[in-house]
Amino acid sequence: MDQMEKFINDLLKINPNFNVEIIKKAYKKAEDYHKGQLRKSGEPYLVHPVEVAIILAELGMDDNTIVAGLLHDTVEDTSYSQEALIKDFGEEVALLVDGVTKLGTLIYENKEERQAENLRKMFLAMSKDIRVLIIKLADRLHNLRTINYMSEEQIKDKCRETLEIYAPLASRLGIFTMKFELEDIALKHLDPEAYYDLVSQVKSKKRQREENINNVINEIKESLNELKIQCEITGRSKHFYSIYRKMKYQNRQLDEIFDLTAIRIIVDNVKDCYAVLGVVHTMWKPIPGRFKDYIAMPKPNRYQSLHTTVIGDNGDPFEIQIRSYEMHKVAEYGIAAHWKYKEGVAEDKEEGKLAWLRQTLEWQKDLNDPKEFMETLKVDLFSNQVFVFTPKGDVIELPAGSTPLDFAFKIHSAIGVKCIGAKVNGKMVPIDHTLKNGNIIEIITSANSKGPSIDWLKIAQTSNARNKIRQWLKKENKSDATDKGKEMLEKYVRRKGYDTQLLLKNQYLNKCAKNFNLSSAEDLYTAIGTGGLLLSKVNSILLRYYHDEKQAELIRKEKSEQAEDGKKKVKNTEHTGVTVKGVDNLLIRFSKCCNPVPGDEIIGFITKGRGISVHRKDCVNIISMPEEEKQRFIEVEWDQQKENMSYDSDIHILAEDRKGLFSDLSRVCEDMDVHIAGVNAKSAKDGIINITMTLSISNTGQIEKILKALRGVQGVADVYRAII
């Protein structure tokens, strides 16, 4: 039997109704075009698309999806053209293949930008046909199964991306069989020590756990037989990544996890589900707060089941899940379990379950920064959900942490912009109140409402609400505040003598926004433009992030120079003018981030292999240092016998860019007998020049005098001692 026959036989064992002829045709195309190509494992490349097709078949996908799975890499990686694909297999297959294809021909500035754009394209393709994502998930699953042949860095990157993006997407579609395997493989490579330790712990108690499960199953069967309820009962262990997360993030031991062992009871209908629940609660005592009714309130991915945790006869807790056969099918295969293309149905009620996808496509159009897109994607799509009710009893799903504002905009934009308050369970609450499962929400509106303010961007937690708020502000000509805020911050930073390109990086701005409960750099600018934030406070936070990065660079530099400096160690008092209390014969160096001089309050930091680094006590790097690092502080003091020594100190000057400026500045230094050790200058577009002068200074008194003198030079707007 050749490889194609084996593949076809495997498919027909899964589903004997597949269109064999069209699948054979696709197999031959893939075989021809991938001929001579090898995977990193050394095996023929064809193995990959074949395995992807098998995974898709196991999910119950249709003929065209299997064909697209076989051909998903041909257009990108071979000479097979999109036009030929359409001619051979039609527009539908071509759409699926194109949606899965990566953006390999485009060039991006960094890996994050490439990842964001790949996902944008995939989401757009998903909006046309959700099978694109299912193929992509199958592709990722097989790649993870064979990931050992990649480099260590590639393995880490792929596994992190899997946990952050693809496993949550599988969860959104309700394909838990795939989600669990993706997560476990990723964990095994990202934290192998924890993974294998967990496997060992679980395995050591396997026999006892199986015995307990069998006893429970027999007891339940006996009780349900008496009531003539037909059922199928199985036991299962929680998958490793789920256990790992609970142990790590909830700081729990393995024996403290209630649902490590679960009994699954599958019955014919919803009525029997609740009947079984009643029986179970009479047999064992339920743990309060551990009952969840996902039948009445399904999860966003359509998952339905009853969950309860009870105390067993031996005192150990265990979870029981109760569902119908139909629910179980959905729980295992998600949206693939009710595929709208089976039997040629063009429209399906399941489309409503993908509302989250349409919302994603709506807000992602307004996000230009890749980092912001990725962060918002993770928060909006993959966060836990809360289920609340309208006064009429309709269930509304929102991300955990949502507020009445998010609820209002979810109902309708007109309700959101007119919102002036809310009632939760009949009681008035502020619009920043955090909603909880089961709350009944009533939004109070007023025709006289002034509409959203910039502060609403701090309160709203969902991208949908924030997007609607921004649209309203723009319509009311209030969004000019964004441009105004950006201009204000840039001018402030320049006036303080900092380089805007260094300080106003997107990575700093987005982190800074989160300090003020804002979602993005755009919201940060808007808040500044409307007067909601002090420029000085924003600037100080940006400086902290800048210094964090610079400190990391210094540490890396220290390590690389460690060997060289080890040869140059001298007694501390011979050159530096600083002594370490009670210690002698140490290498002492002045930090470049704050350049202390006599008169400054100083502190020493014990570096790894490079002696003592001396900082000013008000140095941002010292103030923001993690608590565990502060244990390496050591008392130091200026050596009074070394008063005639000089020290480099950076002075920043903000001035009008005019002819003769440098000559005037140099003359001031010369008149005060201050040596200029270096000069760096950069002109700005607004006629302002930023100058950094490195001066040889003996003490803080001399610094104050030189600063005062330099401020008197014509055109100088500001002079201050450098902090970066």
CA distances from 158 to 153, 173, 180 (A): 9, 21, 16
Q: What is the pLDDT of residue 574?
A: 41
State pLDDT tens for residues 48-76: 999 999 999 988 888 999 999 999 999 88
Specify the CATH number for the domain of residue 683: 3.30.70.260
Over 50: is that where the pLDDT of 663 sits?
yes
The average pLDDT across 631-657 equals 81
Q: Are strands 633-634 and 612-616 parallel, antiparallel or unpaired?
A: unpaired
Burial class (CB in 10 A: 0-12, 13-18, 19+), 446: exposed
Q: Are residues 15 and 87 in the same domain?
A: yes
If one counts every other C-beta atom within 10 angstroms of the C-beta of residue 143, the result is 17
126 confidence band (pLDDT: 50, 70, 90): low
CATH code for the domain of 315: 3.30.460.10
pLDDT (average), residues 496-523: 78
DSSP string, 307-345: EEEEE-TTS-EEEEEEEEHHHHHHHHHGGGGG-TTGGG-
Answer whether residue 344 is part of any domain.
no
Higher per-residue pLDDT: 496 or 444? 444
Can you tell me the mean pLDDT for 525-534?
A: 76
pLDDT(351) > 60: no
The answer to whether residue 560 is domain-embedded is no
Q: Which of 433, 462, 491 is the last residue of a domain?
A: 462
How far apart CA 299 and CA 297 sit, in angstroms, is 7
Alpha helices, DSSP H, located in 15-151: 20-33, 47-58, 63-71, 74-77, 82-89, 91-100, 111-128, 131-145
CB atoms within 10 A of CB 79: 8
CA distance 558 to 701: 31
Same-domain pairing of 231 and 184: no
* 322 and 393 housed in the same domain: no
Of residues 443 and 352, more confidently modeled: 443
Between residues 283 and 561, the one the model is more confident about: 283
Task: Give the per-residue pLDDT at 69.
Answer: 93
Other CB atoms within a 10 A radius of the CB of residue 329 amount to 16
Report whether 66 contacts 23 (CB < 8 A).
yes
Task: Considering only residues 368 and 649, tell me which one the structure prediction assigns the higher pLDDT.
Answer: 649
Q: Are 177 and 333 in contact (CB under 8 A)?
A: yes
Establish if 378 belongs to a structural domain: no
pLDDT at 52: 94
**CATH code of 396's domain:** 3.10.20.30
Query: What does the pLDDT read at residue 55?
Result: 92
Q: Per the structure, how many domains does the chain have?
A: 6
Of 257, 250, 244, 256, residue with least CA distance to 193:
244
468 within domain boundaries: no
62 and 46 share a domain? yes
For residue 415, give both structure tokens.
């309700």
Q: Quick one: 486 and 532 in the same domain?
A: yes
Q: Which long-range contacts (CB under 8 A, 24 or more apart) does 237-241 make?
A: 237/202, 237/209, 237/261, 237/262, 238/262, 239/180, 239/183, 239/184, 240/184, 240/187, 240/195, 240/198, 240/199, 240/202, 241/180, 241/183, 241/184, 241/186, 241/187
Tokens of 426: 């009949």
- CB atoms < 10 A from the CB of 534, how many? 10
CB atoms within 10 A of CB 523: 25
**Is the torsion defined by CA of 508, 513, 516, 519 positive or negative?**
negative
Q: Are 241 and 183 in contact (CB under 8 A)?
A: yes
The confidence band for 102, taking pLDDT boundaries of 50, 70 and 90, is low
Report the chain's mean pLDDT, rounded to a whole number.
79
Backbone Cα Rg of the chain = 32
Q: Which residues are annotated as catalytic?
A: 76-77
Question: How would residue 481 be classed by pLDDT, with cut points 50, 70 and 90?
Answer: confident
Nearest to 174 by CA among 361, 323, 390: 323
Which of 12-26, 61-75, 96-110, 382-396 is predicted least confidently? 96-110
Edge-to-edge strand ranges of the sheet holding 612-616: 588-590, 612-616, 602-606, 633-634
Contacts of 378 (CB under 8 A, 6+ apart): 164, 165, 168
**Rounded CA separation 89/75 (Å):** 13
Q: Which of 135, 148, 112 is nearest to 62 (CA)?
A: 135
Largest CA distance in the chain: 105
What percent of the chain clears pLDDT 90, i.e. is strictly above it? 17
How confident is the model over 593-607, as pLDDT tens digits?
778 888 888 888 888
Q: Considering only CA atoms, which of 561, 512, 553 is closest in space to residue 535?
A: 512
Q: What 8-state DSSP symbol labels residue 230? A: -
Shared domain check, 89 and 180: yes
The answer as to whether 331 is a domain residue is yes
The string of DSSP codes covering 525-550 is HHHHHTT-S-HHHHHHHHHHHHHHHH
In a domain, 559, yes or no: no
- pLDDT of 573 reads 38
Residues 18 and 165 in one domain: yes
Arithmetic mean of pLDDT, 656-685: 84
Cα torsion 349, 351, 355, 359: sign: negative
- At 552, the pLDDT band (50, 70, 90 cuts) reads low
Among 281, 306, 338, residue at a domain's last position: 338
The answer on 148 and 11 residing in a single domain is: yes
pLDDT of residue 28 exceeding 50, the answer is yes
Please check whether residue 410 is in contact with residue 390, taking contact to mean a CB–CB distance below 8 angstroms. no
- Which residues are CB-neighbours of 467 under 8 A, at least 6 positions away? 362, 363, 366
Q: Does residue 156 share a domain with residue 23?
A: yes
In angstroms, rounded to a whole number, what is the distance separating the alpha carbons of residues 652 and 721?
Answer: 6
Give the residue among 614, 525, 617, 540 at the shortest CA–CA distance from 572. 614
Mean pLDDT of 276-282: 90
Tell me if 166 sits within 8 A of 172, measured CB to CB: no
Q: How confident is the model at residue 250 (pLDDT cuts 50, 70, 90)?
A: low
Residue 207 has pLDDT above 60, yes or no: yes
Assess whether 94 and 8 both reside in one domain. Answer: yes
- What is the domain extent for residue 331? 199-338
Residue 551's pLDDT band (boundaries 50, 70, 90)? low
Q: Report how far apart, in Å, the C-alpha atoms of 331 and of each of 306, 355, 546, 667 are.
A: 12, 19, 47, 79
The interaxial angle of helices 176-190 and 240-249, nearest 10 deg, is: 60
Boundary-marking domain end, from 429, 462, 495: 462
Q: Per-residue confidence at 648, pLDDT binned at 50, 70, 90?
A: confident
Can you give the pLDDT at residue 294? 87
- Is 35 in the same domain as 171? yes
| Same structural domain, 254 and 317 | yes
Does 283 map to a domain?
yes
Q: How far does Cα 562 stand from its chain's mean position?
A: 35
Residue 374: what pLDDT? 53
| Those residues with Cβ within 8 angstroms of residue 529's Cβ, 6 or more apart along the chain or in another chain | 480, 481, 482, 483, 484, 485, 486, 488
Residue 356: inside a domain: no
* Model confidence pLDDT, tens digit, residues 138-156: 999 999 999 988 888 889 9
Q: What is the mean pLDDT of residues 658-687?
A: 83
For residue 630, the Cα-to-chain-centroid distance in whole angstroms is 29
Q: What angle do CA 633, 637, 639 make, to 5 degrees?
A: 145
Cβ-based burial of 122 (10 A; exposed 0-12, middle 13-18, buried ≥19): buried
Give the CA angle between residues 260, 262, 267 to the nearest 5°: 165
Structure-model confidence comparison of residues 167 and 340, the more confident one: 167
The pTM of the full predicted model, rounded to 2 decimals, is: 0.52
